[in-house]
Chain A
């Protein structure tokens, strides 16, 4: 059993691939907001959304090529072409949003967990970004390595919890 067995996760779909994040970094999950494209931004940045008065960068992981070991994940079957939800994450001093579908809570103890041991997780996610491979109801879900993923997306590194002094509560992007 893994050292984080019992951890609560947020599961979601990126195209047809199953992914998960630690619940602790997730501030909230919302319907997909209006996102405005920002010319000159990285290709994997969908744009920004106004969220609580802050310009929240919104990422579409389908567009982040290094995440995928081969082809990007195909869109799921059905009429929905765009991801329907936004997962708002706190990462150190900044917040960011990830687009996803079928967002759900995942209890890691309910799963059969193991480390990714090949070049790619079964759902096509590159092993470099996989912390653990989980199985639930016959589906493969990869727990993403957020340190590596967010660093690769260019998001500033999160400070370890407790290092900041009280009152140091700057606005993101300010």
Chain B
């Protein structure tokens, strides 16, 4: 399973690469701008989801934007860095137990070993 490794504040997470339609760097992409809670990318409007707020982190000074595709909708998600793509066997990703969550909808669905620390895998369908 190909995963995009991202940083969100101090946190390090992974996003299924299949769910990432585009990585938008506003420093080089001229056809991208933010309007309140929406982003306009190549003439199309997308909601902006605040992953930083969801994980309790502050947004860094130079975010890049992921255009994520879930089963229900597409949205723009700011992250502080897109570091690498790694191929992680699906069997190496342990599902998170549902009973630890305070609400039914959750932004993360699994965890895997990434060197020294475990890394959480984003649940794009839970987030979007």
Q: Report if B27 contacts A (CB, 8 A).
A: no
Q: Report if B84 contacts A (CB, 8 A).
A: no
Which of A13-21, A24-32, A39-47, A122-130 lies at the interface with chain B? Answer: A39-47
What residues of chain A lie closer than 8 Å to B111, measured between beta carbons?
36, 48, 50, 55
What residues of chain B lie closer than 8 Å to A36, measured between beta carbons?
111, 117-120
B residues at A contact (CB < 8 Å) = 11, 54-56, 92, 94-97, 99-103, 106-108, 110-113, 116-120
A53 to B117 Cα, complex, angstroms = 14
Q: How many contacts between A and B, using CB within 8 angstroms?
A: 71
A82 to B89 Cα, complex, angstroms = 33
Q: Considering only CB atoms, which chain B residue lies closest to A39 in the complex? A: B55
Tell whether, in the assembled complex, residue A39 and residue B107 are in contact, meaning their CB atoms are under 8 Å apart.
yes
Mark interface residues in A69-105 (1 if CB within 8 Å of B CB, else 0): 0000000000000000000000000100000000000
Count of chain A residues near B, Cβ 8 A? 25
Q: Report if A156 contacts B (CB, 8 A).
A: yes
A residues 144-174 touching B (CB-CB < 8 Å): 154-156, 172-174
Q: Considering only CB atoms, which chain B residue lies closest to A44 in the complex? A: B100
A selection of 11 A-B contacts at a CB cut-off of 8 Å is A34-B117, A35-B118, A36-B118, A39-B55, A43-B102, A48-B96, A48-B118, A54-B94, A154-B99, A156-B99, A173-B96
Q: Report if A49 contacts B (CB, 8 A).
A: yes
A43 to B94 Cα, complex, angstroms = 21
What residues of chain B lie closer than 8 Å to A54, measured between beta carbons?
94
**Contact residue among B92, B94, B100, B117 (Cβ-Cβ distance under 8 Å from A45):** B100
Tell whether, in the assembled complex, residue A40 and residue B107 are in contact, meaning their CB atoms are under 8 Å apart.
yes
Considering residues B96, B97, B117, which has the most beta carbons from chain A within 10 angstroms of its beta carbon?
A: B97
* A36-B120, A41-B102, A55-B110 given; 5 more Cβ-contact pairs under 8 Å: A42-B101, A48-B111, A55-B94, A154-B99, A154-B100
